[in-house]
Chains A and B, each alone.
Chain A
Amino acid sequence: GESVGLHLPTLSVQEGDNSIINCAYSNSASDYFIWYKQESGKGPQFIIDIRSNMDKRQGQRVTVLLNKTVKHLSLQIAATQPGDSAVYFCADKSRVFGAGTILRVKS
């Protein structure tokens, strides 16, 4: 049957592998970006942020890369675990969220 609604990109990874989730932005003036994780039935939860004067920022098992030239962000998750399964959003300082990416971790 016909499906209606946003078709979020889905990334399926094997447990233990690294995951890379991408996000493009359009506002050249954006100088602050945030990655959020949303698990089913919960509100988005902060993962990591980055300011535009940086190209890379690392957290625990997560790294965010910022390429201002092509207006692109990526979130890298090392050694992906089943608990990482969620929808991941990027947002800028205007608090507008991207559509999101579904991450599914296979055990």
Chain B
Amino acid sequence: DAGVIQSPRHEVTEMGQEVTLRCKPISGHNSLFWYRQTMMRGLELLIYFNNNVPIDDSGMPEDRFSAKMPNASFSTLKIQPSEPRDSAVYFCASSLESQHTEAFFGQGTRLTVV
């Protein structure tokens, strides 16, 4: 398996624009996690899905952020409208089970909002 695949690797967008980050988890994994990493706040869990259902979205910063998982092989994290403070590296991770197995991380998407 190629591992967790995220796209794009880099995204530069203007403030106010919509941004969509994409993730393909490892085949067979039933849990998927979205994280944000910044110098200010470190690695933050935004949301996680189990069997395509959002289980905990308490880390989603505000209503501008939304995440979907329409099927077991694809998830999106959308920011609309984007703001400069959303600039960060966004990681997607997947695991076989939600709580007692390790998560495998993608390479991340570096988002810059100007």
Do A and B bind?
yes
Chain A residues within 8 Å of B, Cβ to Cβ: 4-6, 31-32, 34, 42-46, 49, 51, 89, 93-97, 99-100
* Most chain A CB within a 10 A radius of its CB, from B41, B43, B105, B108: B43
Q: How many angstroms between the C-alpha atoms of A45 and B43 in the bound complex?
A: 13
The contact of B40 among A6, A43, A46, A93, by CB within 8 Å, is: A6
- Whether B106 contacts A43 by the Cβ 8 Å rule is yes
Q: Give the size range of B's interface with the partner.
A: 20 to 34
- Beyond the given pairs A34-B102, A42-B108, A95-B48, 15 more chain A to chain B contacts, judged by CB atoms under 8 angstroms and listed by A's residue number, are A4-B40, A6-B39, A6-B40, A6-B42, A42-B107, A43-B93, A43-B105, A43-B108, A49-B101, A93-B99, A94-B45, A95-B99, A97-B45, A100-B42, A100-B43
- Whether B107 contacts A89 by the Cβ 8 Å rule is no
